[in-house]
Structure 1
Amino acid sequence: MTLPNATPRTGGQLVVDCLLSQGVEHVFCVPGESFLAVLDALHGTPIAVTICRQEGGATMMADAVGRLTGRPGIAMVTRGPGATNASPGIHIAEHDSVPLILFVGQVARDMKGRGAFQEMDFKAVFGTMAKWVVEIEDAARVPEIIARAFHVAMQGRPGPVVISLPEDMLTDMALAFPAGRIEPVETATSAIQLAALQELLEDARKPVLLLGGSGWTADSLLRLRGFIERFDLPVATTFRRAMLLSGDHPNYGGELGIGPNPKLRARIEAADLVLMFGTRMAEIPSQGYTLFDIPTPRQTIVHVHADTAELGRVYHPTLAIQATPDGLSRGLEALSPSRAVPWHAETRQAHADFLAWTDTAPKLPGSVQYGDIIVSLRDRLPADAIVTNGAGNYTIWVQRFLRFRSFGSQLAPVSGSMGYGLPAAVGAKRLLPERMVVCFAGDGCFLMNGQEFATAVQYGLPIIVIIVDNGMYGTIRMHQERHYPGRVSGTQLRNPDFAAYAVAFGGHGERVESTDAFLPAFERAVASGLPAIIHLIVDPEALTPGASLTTIREKALRDQADAAVGSAI
């Protein structure tokens, strides 16, 4: 980038100069008077500003950009309620290891500490969620601090950074210049570590690779795939990371998430060598920290992660390697088996088990067979289609039956945050307008950020939103029936006509009440060229692929009766 003229610039102009120097193309914001100087500096620049309807939506859109590019997504919000509204996106980025920078307007410096209008201590508010929280007191330091923010957001375990911008600082004049483009520091495997890994593979009889985390690229995954194929390793992806290896690949054994294939879990428990590449193995992929003994697993563990703080944090590995996905994949190119590996049949069986587990969805009550609809989309969606979702039981069907086939095709929060799918779809389509973007949302999930459908309409983003409506907070109802069967409290919903909602905003709406009606409705939604909502009416009984509401309740009642008999005896 050409540096600006050697004349003083306002703090707001310096912020934008620094974003341009980092190659930022998109900013997602809800405007506020606290950072008008930055909004003014954005005027006439190549940066596309997406005006959002709620600050949480803005940070989730920025999160989607961070996932798809590997560089920080940028959000801007105002102080006080703007900042607190933005916090769900920061929590998602922290849990999911996504690079993101949130700029927050702040009260003027001479008002701090007086309880000024919407004043907040951002270090206290975001200190447990962000990798770094900082306030820029001097306009001359804007380039220094923003450069550091890009370093922090991308290096080690990626994550969010929050930068507070005092209102009066943004109008101060300073002579300063932005830093050059920041690239993350890549850490690579050593020759000694690679030799140790090779030896462990040579000694193994039943290895398995658990693939997860962030920071992967199409190139690093291509190199990793070569390693997987040379050693013919069975591979499982961790929770909501299924896009890291195509579901069609003969080495793919499934996702280690909520309600995984019992055969996959058994395979991992029986393994003598477990390779953990990129993943932290947090609560859900570790099945509530029950999959491996803590702190020393029975299996030989090789843990590779970009952040040393994650190595040995929960599990003591036999071999710990600090390496970024790119550095790891380049090192693995040097490894090849010295003999025919003895686990070919195990790998083929792992993929066969995955296909059997995901091939046909079980039938559940109702005229809409949601699982069949997911299966029908496998052949309809392009391989590079981007699928987003938030949280809820409806996501189990997507993750089990859809099969992700390319890098960047899955945007879903491992933090289990509701309301993520729609803003993520908007952010993805804004970044990559040439790709089909499909959002799945539950009825409760959708209305947490449903207002961002207006953002899709405003910018002409023809996303397709499939709302799975069962009239309740389904996941909570499921747990409620397990623990308090028949005592429904706080989980019922009365929903609007979501198809009419779409039309009211200027989009396309469809209501679907039978399985056969879905694909024609989907095709009409695509042909409309508009942001679209397909309102899918699902029987409340159809909670998960494995159980209906009634079977969950009946089992809980039986268990309670058995427990009562046992205590009486």
Structure 2
Amino acid sequence: MTQAPGTAARRLVETLVVNGVDRVFCVPGESYLAVLDALADVEERIQVIACRNEAGAANMAEAYGKLTGKPGVCMVTRGPGATHASIGVHTAHQDSTPMILFVGQIALTDRGRGAFQEVDYREVFGGLAKWATEIESPERTVEIVERAFATALQGRMGPVVVALPENILHDDGGPAPVRAVTPARSALDPAFVEQVRARLAAAERPLLVLGGSGWTEAATTAIADWSARLGLPVALSFRRKDLIDNLAPNYAGDLGLGSNPKLLQRVRDADLILCIGARLGENPTQGYTLLDRARTAQTLIHIHPGPEELGRVWPTLASAAADNSLAAIALSAVEPGRTWADQAAAAHADYIAFSTPIAVESAVNMSEVIAHLGETLPADAILTNGAGNFAAWLHRFHRHRARGTQLAPTSGAMGYGYPAAIGAKSAQPGREVVCIAGDGDYLMTGQEIATAVQYGINVIVVVVDNGAYGTIRMHQEGHYPGRVIATDLKNPDFVKYAEAFGAFGVRVERTGDFPAALAAARAAGRPALIHVITDAENIAPGRTITGLRAAARD
């Protein structure tokens, strides 16, 4: 069958090309075969990466969007394909990542019949996506897809879901796209900038908090240089540790899970918090306990691209809906007439002490493993992770030196890290990419090692194997000490697992073995897996199972 020119499927693909899409992550399905056929005509422009599960494909697309700032594009089939992919949509929503999920759909003529794999995508994805829609008029295909790009990129960035009824994809697709979508960006009012200057001039203990998405290199450089010159302490929000160099003289640490207690006290003591881009949600505010609503009304200046986030939880002294990068560049010209160098030095000293490796009573010290990664890998190496207590070692002890080096889900999605690494390496193949994964975390999407091998995407994964769902075990021991159920894991030989797919594998049982294993993995010339055997006793930095049990029984 030869597809005619100008079909809805072809118009969709043409719109992707015009908007600079160079990767599509998918699991193929018969419901959108016409779109796949149209993609075959532009293989020199768009690489199609076929994955082994829709969750993996969606996570790759989300990571691509997070890394590049362009919408990551994922395509899946209807019903089970779409629900598998929903985890990536949820992460894109919570992480403010531009992403477009195209879903094959039953024929329009069969809707409401309970047809094979029928799903109402507006209903299912309405609470997960910024916009969930279905192309019902094929001649409006370009209009709908262009709106998807604009919606994903404007305001608070996020995911869009577009369903593609299979019976309209060969119909006339209407006018061709003319140009790429240019997202609207809002800037700060000069009067607001002056208000910030006046408040900074009067502040004795100010703190700058950065987070969110949509940052440019120019903006992060400008705000980092400005804050360092003023001695203004900077904290980064949950899993946004790569926005500025962690060795900057005023870097105070990150707000999230397992934060430095001294940083948390610094937040409580601040008489002015200037927050750009961060939502100040549950994890950064320690379960909404770190800040006080009566106090934020007098001390919080909040800037966020999504006006719906301003005043959502915390009353503000002042607020503005503005693009993070435009706001940062504007504020970097502010001269408050004073500096806080002593406070910056103290805050950074606290961070350095907190991120220095600690002693553990086990054969593998994960704090030293993470420190070795930082000492050995290039400054622009990308580190990815999913969710689990293993990530606490990475977030505490790795010092990010460059923007775009951390891909981690603020949604707390297990299984994110490995497909994220593949998505990142496919987008920027010249950079080294290392995933840190737990044993439970890795096996949720570990089959994507087949995708890495098939496409020659040479990422490294460090599988931290403590034989447990560590985070749940930690909470279990804290609430019901010694009553272990459903948190022990019996794992495969991960080296043989990797080798079965054609990847390189190596096992590490002592801290001193890790440098040689990492060197071998980097030199392997193919995807690599480092299987690190750890002890569940050291369940998190500074926490042991024995200690948790004793504390719970007191």
Q: TM-score range by the shorter chain?
A: over 0.9
In 1: Cα distance, 2:184 partner to 2:395 partner: 33
Is 1:394 equivalent to 2:390 in the alignment? yes
Whether the aligned pair in 2 keeps the contact of 1:8 and 1:176 (CA below 8 Å) is no
Cα separation, 1, equivalents of 2:295 and 2:112: 49
Q: Which of 8, 22, 32 is residue 25 of structure 1 equivalent to?
A: 22
Distance 1:174 1:267 in 2: 57
Equivalences for 1:179-190 in 2 at 5 Å? Answer: 179-190=178-189
What is residue 359 of structure 2 aligned with on the other side? 363
Residue-pair matches, total: 549
TM-score in terms of structure 1 length: 0.95
SS at match of 1:168: helix
Does residue 1:490 correspond to 2:486, yes or no?
yes
CA contact (8 A) 1:472 1:492 kept: yes
Q: Give distance in 2, aligned partners of 1:366 and 1:225.
A: 39
1:513 paired residue number: 509
The answer on whether the counterparts of 1:34 and 1:79 sit within 8 Å (CA) in structure 2 is yes
- Aligned partners of 2:439 and 2:463 also within 8 Å: yes
Q: Given residue 218 of structure 1, which amino acid in structure 2 is its aligned partner?
A: E
Q: Is the 8 A contact 1:296 1:315 kept in 2?
A: no
Partner of 1:564: none
Q: What is the deviation of 1:374?
A: 0.8
Following TM superposition, by how much is the alpha carbon of 1:381 offset from its aligned partner in structure 2, in angstroms? 1.0
TM-score by length of 2: 0.98
CA shift for structure 1 position 135: 0.4
Partner residue, 1:65: 64
1:402-431: per-residue Cα shift (whole Å, max 9, x none)? 111111000000011100000000000000
In structure 2, distance between residues paired with 1:428 and 1:118: 31
2:228–2:249 contact (8 Å) kept in structure 1: no
- Residue 364 of structure 1: SS of its match in structure 2? coil
Give the structure 1 partner of residue 152 of structure 2: 153
Instruction: Give the structure 2 partner of residue 124 of structure 1.
Output: 123
Find the counterpart in structure 1 of residue 133 from structure 2: 134
Measured in 1, the distance between the counterparts of 2:5 and 2:533 equals 59
Residue 311 of structure 1: how far off its partner (Å): 0.8
Query: CA separation in 2, counterparts of 1:168 and 1:44?
Result: 21
Offset at 1:336? 1.7
2:491 is matched by which residue type in structure 1? N
Alpha carbons 1:482, 1:556 under 8 Å: kept: yes
CA distance in 1, matches of 2:463, 2:246: 24
Partner of 1:253: 252
- Residues in 2 aligned to 1:225 and 1:270: alpha-carbon distance in whole angstroms: 22
Whichever residue aligns with residue 493 of structure 2, its letter is D
How far, CA to CA, are the matches of 1:197 and 1:449 in structure 2?
A: 45
- How far did 1:296 drift? 5.0
CA offset digits 1:425-483 (Å, max 9, x no partner): 00000000000000000000000001111110001111010000000100000000000
Letter paired with 1:57: G
The alpha carbon displacement at 1:299 in A equals 5.1
- Alpha-carbon distance between aligned partners in 1 of 2:203 and 2:173, rounded to the nearest angstrom: 62
Q: SS of the counterpart of 1:501?
A: helix
Q: 2:449, 2:543 → 1: CA distance?
A: 32
Counterpart position of 1:561: none
Residue 445 (str. 1) matches residue 441 (str. 2):
yes
For the Cα contact (< 8 Å) 2:231–2:343, is it kept in 1?
no
Q: Point out where structure 1 has 5 or more consecutive residues left out of the alignment.
A: 1-6, 559-569
Superposition deviation, residue 8 in structure 1: 5.3
Match of 2:499 among 503, 512, 532: 503
Moved more, 108-117 or 429-438: 108-117
1:528 matched to 2:524? The reply is yes
Q: Deviations over 1:239-280 (max 9, x none)?
A: 100001111111101011111111111111111101111000
Within 2, Cα distance between the matches of 1:186 and 1:41? Answer: 32
The yes-or-no answer on 1:280 pairing with 2:279 is: yes
- Distance in 2 of aligned mates of 1:496 and 1:66: 33
Contact 2:239/2:408, CA 8 A, preserved across alignment: yes
C-alpha displacement of 1:489: 0.7
**Equivalent runs, 1:399-410 vs 2, <5 Å:** 399-410=395-406
C-alpha distance 174-392 of structure 1, shift in aligned 2 (>3 A): closer
Residues 96 and 262 of structure 1: is their aligned pair in 2 closer, same or farther, counting only changes over 3 Å? same
Matched, 1:44 2:44: no
Contact 2:498 2:528 in 1 (8 A): yes
Asked whether 1:13 is paired with 2:33, we answer no
Counterpart residue type for residue 403 of structure 2: F
The SS at the match of 1:87 is: helix
Kindly indicate whether the alpha-carbon contact (under 8 Å) linking 1:246 and 1:406 is maintained by their aligned counterparts in 2: yes
Aligned residues of 2:71 and 2:152 also touching (Cα < 8 A):
yes
Alignment of 1:194-343 (within 5 A): 194-294=193-293, 296-297=295-296, 300-338=299-337, 340-341=338-339, 343=340
Work out the CA distance in 2 between the residues paired with 1:230 and 1:517: 42
Kindly state the Cα deviation for residue 330 of structure 1 after the two structures are TM-superposed.
Answer: 2.7
RMSD over equivalenced CA pairs, Å:
1.1
| 1:364, distance to aligned residue in structure 2 (A) | 2.1
* Contact persistence 2:140–2:174 (CA under 8 A): no
Q: Is the 8 Å Cα contact of residues 442 and 467 (structure 1) preserved in structure 2? A: yes
Post-superposition shift, 1:179? 4.1
- 1:51-95, CA deviations, whole angstroms, 9 ceiling, x for partnerless residues? 000001111100011111111100000001000000000000000
Distance of 1:157 and 1:236 partners within structure 2:
21
Shift of 1:363: 2.0
How far apart, in 2, do the equivalents of 1:451 and 1:18 lie? 32
Structure 1 segments, 4+ long, off by >4 Å, are none
Q: Deviation string for 1:270-329 (max 9, x for gaps)?
A: 111011110000000011101111265275111010011111111111010111112102
1:565 is matched with: none
Q: Secondary structure at the match of 2:526?
A: coil
Provide the rounded CA distance (Å) in 1 between the counterparts of 2:350 and 2:173.
Answer: 63
CA distance in 2, matches of 1:405, 1:506: 33
SS of equivalent to 2:280: coil
Note if contact 2:58-2:74 (Cα within 8 Å) is conserved in structure 1.
Answer: yes
SS of 2:222's partner is helix
Kept in 2, the 8 Å contact 1:55–1:85? The answer is yes
Q: Which moved more, 1:234-243 or 1:166-175?
A: 166-175
In the alignment, which residue of structure 1 is the partner of 2:77? 78
Counterpart selection for 1:544 from 536, 540, 544: 540
Would you say the 8 A contact 2:383–2:405 is kept in 1?
yes
Residue 176 of structure 1: CA displacement? 1.4
Give me the whole-angstrom Cα distance separating, in 2, the residues matched to 1:22 and 1:14. Answer: 12
- Code of the aligned partner of 1:20: V
- Give 1:358's aligned amino acid: S
Q: Secondary structure at the match of 2:293?
A: coil
CA offset at residue 183 of structure 1?
Answer: 2.1
Q: Secondary structure in 2 aligned to 1:406?
A: coil
Match of 1:35 in 2: 32
Whether contact under 8 Å (1:236, 1:253) holds in the other structure is yes
Would the aligned equivalents of 1:274 and 1:299 in 2 still touch at CA under 8 Å? Answer: no
Determine the C-alpha separation between the residues in 2 that align with 1:392 and 1:234. Answer: 29
2:10 touches 2:173 (CA, 8 Å); kept in 1?
no
Q: Secondary structure at the match of 1:335?
A: coil
The AA in structure 1 aligned to 2:450 is A
- Partners of 2:456 and 2:173 lie apart in 1 by 39
CA distance in structure 1 between the partners assigned to 2:266 and 2:161 by the alignment:
42
Q: Which residue of 2 aligns with 1:555?
A: 551
